[in-house]
Amino acid sequence: MSNQEHQTRWQRWHIDIPLLSGIVILLLVALFTLYSADGQDLVKVEGQALKMIFALGIMLFLAQIHPNTFRYWAIPMYIGGLVCLLIVEFFGYTAKGSTRWIDLGFTKFQPSEMMKLAVPMAVAWYMAKHPMPPRNRDLLTGFIICAIPTLLIAKQPDLGTSILIAMSGVFVLFFSGMSWRIIGVLVALIAAFLPVLWHFLMYDYQKRRVLTLFDPEQDPLGAGYQTIQSMIAIGSGGFEGKGWMQGTQSQLEFLPERHTDFIFAVYAEEMGLMGVMALLALYFFVISRGLIIASQAQDNFSRFMAGSITLTFFVYVFVNIGMVSGILPVVGVPLPLISFGGTSLVTLLAGFGILMSISTHKRMLANQ
Amino acid sequence: MRKTRIAIADHAAEAILFNRRIVFSVIVVLVLFLVLLLNLYQLQVVRYEEYSTRADGNRIKLVPLSPNRGMIFDRNGVLLAENSPVHSLELIPEQVADLPATVTALSALISIDADTQERFYKDVKKQRRFKSISLKEHLTEQEVAILAVHLHQFPGVTLEARLTRNYPYGDLLTHALGYIGKINEKEYQALEAAEVSANYAASRDIGKSGIEKFYESQLHGTVGYQEVEVNSRGRVIRTLRDQPAISGDDLYLSIDLGLQLKAQEALGENRGSVVMLDPRDGSVLAFYSNPSYNPNLFVHGISGKNYNLLLNSPDRPLVNRITQGLFPPASTIKPLLGVLGLESGTVTEQTRIPDPGFYRLPNVSRRWRDHVEWGHGYVDIYTGIIKSCDTYFYHLAYKLGIDKIADFMTKAGFGRPSGIDLHEENEGNMPTRAWKRAKHKQNWGPGDTINIGIGQGYWQATPLQMALTTATLVNSGGRITPRLARNFHNQQQDQSLLVPLEQAITVVDPNNWAISREAMYRTAHQEGGTARGAFLGATYTIGGKTGTQQVINIAAGQKYNAKAINVRHRDNAMFIGYAPHDKPEVTIAVVVENAGGGGSNAAPVARQMLDYYFSPQYNAPKLPSIAEIAVIQQQRYDAMVLREQAYAEEAAREKAAKEARKAAELQRKSGNAIIPDANSLPPQTLPAGQTSPAVATSTEQTATESNPSPPTTTEEKPIDE
């Protein structure tokens, strides 16, 4: 049948149509929102579009690679990433008070981006070697694999990224069948660790962000400014929104970081709750597709990777919208696929590339 | 190794376990998305109004527009207070990185003196950081050009152009017009208390004194607003709504500029005042107090040097002598007192009283002297007024008693606010029994009443009250309310500000009032009248009365010798009058301080004023040009500075002389002392106050037995011509 042929043709090219369409629609939304958010700067939008095409290329390239190859390269990538993190630790390039980059001369490379994929890969590799559910000592090893890069990145300091990387690893452990009892103990431990984190590990600016969350009006011109302005932007959008390029908060530049971390506020102001619901539905569609791919995957490494990549993507969405709408502290997490910037886009689409690889290689495996 | 062997994967079980985890994940994702949605629903639907308002609050700003202040004209439409554009150099401290460095750099471009800089830094401390503060005002065209070229080097520094008040005639009308100046904290609080501060949102200035203050609310106008959309940096993107400001109403004064110029000319270098009223409607035709000062100094922010000069000058230019200067009205009250005598039946037209040169109460040895040592012989009311016979009025006052006099004179206009349209007014004092008990804890004595008979003792009046009560006499008991301003003028209508005449005194016989006026007419026109010399050859008829008010006491048996005493202790010359006699159009009061007799010093000033009033020139005034006035104003300012220098030198000389006397006295004393070694007891160890009362002897402390001490700050004592 033509439909069957159709499917197989896409499959041959290793493209997952539902996932790709979800991503492309989100990227188009991103371009329109960016155009409005950044003063109708077409040059900037074109630049971002080029980055998107580049990142899509990477995605399609990775989709061609068999999941086994990722498993094979998991440990070298992980170790390479750790080495890079150590280089950053000692020779890194510093900007805005944190050392996150390695200066390669022509460009700056951020090893923590690489670790976003390398960590779940390494944990998945390790956990897949053992049958599910994992034994306690395997779990411990998995945790250690997560912990080393997490601590190095937290030291840069980049708390947001380190927590997200730790989560991507922990998601693998979760999918590998970590028992609920241990999950309960871990949650309790984290709860107990929070005060320690607060008193000994967090920097003042980080503490201020958290405090601001509870009462942004306390410091309306300082730490609370971003949150207040973004809540005003979202709230004043109402149900129907002010219309594309009509948002006063964004067009008159009251909203800070409006093309990067706070782009959701621009979108919500101009598109209203209707647009927000559509956007969330789109995200949910992409996440669902990711989880379906995970559940249909045929080996444990693929399952863990697909599950972890999808849930991490969800965490990005949730944390960004939560912080922009004032229910989570302001951490530097962009809105995936929508926020301006190339690095996170490449990492995200690389992740989706792995997802597509998992999705499109499984039947071939079954066909064999 | 064993364990790894045992751990064989069960693929089906693994798939089930994994899929359970996937299902759980889907549930968590859904729940958390729901949380996000609920929160967004809360923001965008439930609290939409609140955030919508706040978004508008961010972007919409009201920019107040200042109204143009109403202009002020004289009765003929000559512009007396105008609005002219000025350029000023302003700084917004918040936007200036290094304030002192910027100020220094700017003062290298245009001269900014230390005084101005000091005031600027004071303002910086007082005002909010994001508000603009003027560093230098009244830039010349050249300065504006220089600054415009260099402005781009100074962020936060701007050139502002705005309208400010200008008084083209300088010091000529200051005491009537007053001036405007920057709104200070206290005035702002008053505006807030009156709930009109919103109207001043764009205003920098407010009426500080005079007409400018009295009619502030109407002169100021109504603030306008511009609703604009701004971006986060406060830059205006577009105008949404525009409500223009409404200019203040124009004010027409009753003052005549020609008369005003004449008054300034007639007073010359003398300290004193001229006030001329229309007894028919209360309008003020001339209102000049000398020395005056240039109000433009205050509008532009007066320098410390100039302010101290004005504040500390012994000539007291800041005092409005017409409404704030207090003088015993002296003999000028005699015509009105005569009316009271006649109306009350205490005396008649025919009553004659012997005047041996003094007055004495029955069984009291104390004598009240007449200004003519040998007396006037038998005196009736006409002679009493024409020759200003003190004895006649000592007698009359004693017979009337203080209660009747105080009641009548208060109704006539003494000891009460005149109601003139100025806030700067002293109501003077018309003494009563109750007043003396309250103030001095003493009973009223017969001697007190006798002093009142010649307008002295505790009696204190302003020159305005003298002119006003003259109008009461002219109007046979009808009291006017003087008005500097005649009417407001705006597009809609003219609003008259004049107040109708009030019949304050019940008339018994109109002839009694005519008798006093007749006496005043003869004072100016009949042989022997005290004002006759001044009005010889006048082409019009007038009624007048002179007064000479002694500033210091003359001891019994001593004679007043103007040349022998300090200039500031010489007699104050006074004159009141009205003209024409048969149908009065004006009343006038002139006070020339420390000039001597009223007939020879004050009456001639009134003559010049009236000559001008009755000349054809009055109706076709030839006024000096603005350029001429500027020259005259500069000359007057320079003259003031010179005068003040002379005063300061004189004061220094006197101080030195006093110290030399003191030192000589000390030396004499220590020389007489028994202590052998004078050096062992230096003169400084003796406290100055304890040395000797003789050291403090000076002419002004010579006391007389004849009169009680009046309650004024200056030591003014009776004895009249």
DSSP for B350-410, please give it. T--EEESSEEE-TT---EEE-SSTT--EEE-HHHHHHTT-HHHHHHHHHHH-HHHHHHHHH
H helices of B42-165, in order, are 48-59, 99-109, 114-126, 141-150
Task: Give B382's pLDDT tier (boundaries 50, 70, 90).
Answer: very high
Please indicate, yes or no, whether residues B446 and B480 belong to a single structural domain of this protein: yes
The predicted structure's pLDDT at residue A91: 76
* Tokens (6 digits) for A62: 């990775």
Average pLDDT, chain B: 84
Asked if A254's CB is within 8 angstroms of B59's CB, the reply is: yes
Peptide bond connecting A131 to the previous residue in cis, omega within 30 degrees of 0: no
Asked if B233's CB is within 8 angstroms of A253's CB, the reply is: yes
Contact B110, B141 (CB under 8 A): no
Within 237-276 of B, beta carbons closer than 8 Å to A belong to: 237
- Of the three residues B210, B226, B253, the one that is the final residue of a domain is B253
CA B528/CA B530 separation, integer angstroms: 6
Quick check: is B685 in a domain?
no
Rg (CA), chain A: 21
Res. B309: pLDDT tops 70:
yes
Please indicate, yes or no, whether residues B98 and B245 belong to a single structural domain of this protein: yes
B55 vs A contacts (CB less than 8 Å): 232-233, 235-236, 248-249, 254
Please indicate, yes or no, whether residues B574 and B438 belong to a single structural domain of this protein: yes
Which of A39-48, A93-102, A130-139, B574-583 has the highest mean predicted lDDT (pLDDT)? B574-583
Please indicate, yes or no, whether residues B191 and B267 belong to a single structural domain of this protein: no
- Name the residue among B485, B538, B467, B484 with its Cα closest to residue B274: B467
What mean pLDDT is predicted for residues A3-9? Answer: 60
- Active-site annotation holder among B292, B331, B418, B516: B331
For the beta carbon of residue B73, count every other beta carbon within 10 angstroms.
20
Task: Give B555's pLDDT tier (boundaries 50, 70, 90).
Answer: low
The number of domains in chain B is: 2
Res. B721: pLDDT tops 60:
no
**Residue B250 in 3-state DSSP?**
strand
Cα angle value A50/A52/A53 (rounded, 5°): 65
Which among A177, A253, A288 is the nearest to B232, CB-wise? Answer: A253
Res. A220: pLDDT tops 80:
no
Peptide bond connecting B64 to the previous residue in cis, omega within 30 degrees of 0: no
Size of interface A-B (CB pairs under 8 A): 136
A326 touches chain B (CB under 8 A): yes
Res. B203: pLDDT tops 50:
yes
Strands B72-73, B250-253: parallel, antiparallel or unpaired by DSSP? parallel
Q: Shortest Cα distance from A165 to chain B (angstroms)? A: 18
- Torsion-angle region of B462 (φ positive above 0: left; ψ -120 to 50: alpha; else: beta): beta
Asked if B9's CB is within 8 angstroms of A248's CB, the reply is: no
The predicted structure's pLDDT at residue A204: 78
B407 touches chain A (CB under 8 A): no
Q: Where are the domains of chain A?
A: 17-367
Element (H, E) at B610: helix B603-614
Task: Give B563's pLDDT tier (boundaries 50, 70, 90).
Answer: low
For residue range B83-109, list pLDDT tens digits in order.
988 888 888 877 787 888 888 888 888
For residue range A261-271, list pLDDT tens digits in order.
899 999 999 99
H helices of B203-355, in order, are 210-214, 216-220, 257-267, 296-299, 304-312, 321-324, 334-344
Quick check: is B571 in a domain?
yes
In Å, what is the CA distance from A193 to each residue of A80, B126, B213? 30, 50, 71
**Secondary structure of B509-534 in the HEC alphabet?**
CHHHHHHHHHHHHHHHHCCCCCCCHH
Quick check: is B521 in a domain?
yes
B130 touches chain A (CB under 8 A): no
Quick check: is B409 in a domain?
yes
- Of the three residues B619, B650, B680, the one that is the final residue of a domain is B619
Tell me the percentage of chain B whose pLDDT exceeds 90: 46
- Residue, of A112 and A312, whose pLDDT is higher: A312
CA A266 to centroid of chain Cα atoms: 20
- Name the residue among B68, B73, B69 with its Cα closest to residue B487: B73
ipTM of the complex: 0.93
Please indicate, yes or no, whether residues B225 and B275 belong to a single structural domain of this protein: no
Asked if A234's CB is within 8 angstroms of B51's CB, the reply is: yes
The predicted structure's pLDDT at residue A4: 53
Residue B25 falls in the annotated catalytic set: no
Strands B180-182, B79-91: parallel, antiparallel or unpaired by DSSP? unpaired
Please indicate, yes or no, whether residues B386 and B420 belong to a single structural domain of this protein: yes
The predicted structure's pLDDT at residue B714: 36
CA A351 to centroid of chain Cα atoms: 9
For an interface test with B, give the residue of A136, A226, A232 to mutate (most B CBs within 10 A). Answer: A232
Please indicate, yes or no, whether residues B502 and B580 belong to a single structural domain of this protein: yes
Q: Where are the beta strands (DSSP E) in B175-261?
A: 180-182, 205-207, 224-230, 236-243, 250-253
Asked if B44's CB is within 8 angstroms of A234's CB, the reply is: yes
For an interface test with A, give the residue of B6, B36, B44 to mutate (most A CBs within 10 A). Answer: B44
Identify the residue whose tokens are 């159009």: B585
Which among A254, A277, A325 is the nearest to B43, CB-wise? Answer: A325
For residue range A56-68, list pLDDT tens digits in order.
999 999 999 999 9
CA B625 to centroid of chain Cα atoms: 27
Q: List the CATH number of the domain containing B121.
A: 3.90.1310.10
Please indicate, yes or no, whether residues B281 and B295 belong to a single structural domain of this protein: yes
What mean pLDDT is predicted for residues B296-307? Answer: 82
Q: Which residues contact B667 (CB under 8 A, 6 or more apart)?
A: B683
B32 touches chain A (CB under 8 A): yes
Please indicate, yes or no, whether residues B267 and B249 belong to a single structural domain of this protein: no
Quick check: is B1 in a domain?
no
Quick check: is B23 in a domain?
no
| Helix, strand, coil percent values for chain A (each to nearest 5) | 75, 5, 25
Asked if A177's CB is within 8 angstroms of B21's CB, the reply is: yes
For residue range A41-100, list pLDDT tens digits in order.
888 899 999 999 999 999 999 999 999 999 999 999 999 999 988 888 887 777 766 667
Contact B591, B602 (CB under 8 A): yes
What mean pLDDT is predicted for residues B33-61? Answer: 91
Q: Shortest Cα distance from B60 to chain A (angstroms)? A: 10
Please indicate, yes or no, whether residues B192 and B310 belong to a single structural domain of this protein: no
For residue range B346-360, list pLDDT tens digits in order.
999 999 999 888 888
> Whole domain around residue B449: which residue ranges?
258-487+497-619
The predicted structure's pLDDT at residue B685: 35
Position B88: which residue type?
Answer: S
Res. B528: pLDDT tops 70:
yes
A276 touches chain B (CB under 8 A): yes
What mean pLDDT is predicted for residues B157-183? Answer: 89
Asked if A284's CB is within 8 angstroms of B22's CB, the reply is: no
Please indicate, yes or no, whether residues B241 and B267 belong to a single structural domain of this protein: no
Please indicate, yes or no, whether residues B199 and B270 belong to a single structural domain of this protein: no
- Name the residue among B349, B293, B334, B10 with its Cα closest to residue B174: B293
Asked if B10's CB is within 8 angstroms of A131's CB, the reply is: yes
